[in-house]
Structure 1
């Protein structure tokens, strides 16, 4: 299976998906399997689809929560940061790293 075929399958699973979303899902699915030909099996593709969907939702939720915390932190004076605020920054770096790893092929996310 190549990327175009995978995109067509994604189009069947999620009709009306924006091209950017299809491309993103192709990347995530192709990174989630060792052999793209495994995705030719409809049952395997559906299982991988569900797993990726759950991981993506977890990463998105974690990123949204961290973004909110960072927005609150940005309104405070950095010269008066508390240890808890420093930990917020450290967690934000970790979340960003996990999201990046998710997209570049390392799908081990710590949620």
Structure 2
């Protein structure tokens, strides 16, 4: 199955998807499939679709939470960093690397 075919199929399954969501899900589904031809099987496609949707939503939620923490940290102004602020920055780096891994299907940090 090609990207175009998969995108068309996703829109059939969920017509209200935005073009960005279709592109994101298509990439995640194709990265998760061992062989793109296996996606022609309806149950297999649905399984990959649900998995990709869940991973995408979890990543979006985690990113939003981390953004809130970073905005709060930035509001503190230029001060000496406390240990909890450093941990916030380290968590932000980890979240960003997880998002990168989600889209590339390869480890972002070694």
Q: Residues 67-86 of structure 1, C-alpha deviation per residue, up to 9 Å, x if partnerless?
A: 00000000113432110000
**Alignment partner, residue 56 of structure 1:** 56
Rounded to whole Å, the distance in 2 between the matches of 1:92 and 1:84 is 12
Where in structure 2 are the equivalents of 1:3-82 lying within 5 Å? 3-82=3-82
With structure 1 as the length reference, what TM-score do the two structures score? 0.89
Q: How many equivalent residue pairs?
A: 107
> Cα RMSD over matched residues?
1.4
Cα drift, residue 8 of structure 1: 1.0
Specify every segment of 5 or more residues in structure 2 that has no aligned partner in the other structure, as ranges: none
1:31–1:106 CA contact under 8 A, matched in 2? no
The alignment's TM-score, normalised by the length of structure 2, stands at 0.90
- Bigger relative contact order (CA 8 A; separation at least 6): 1
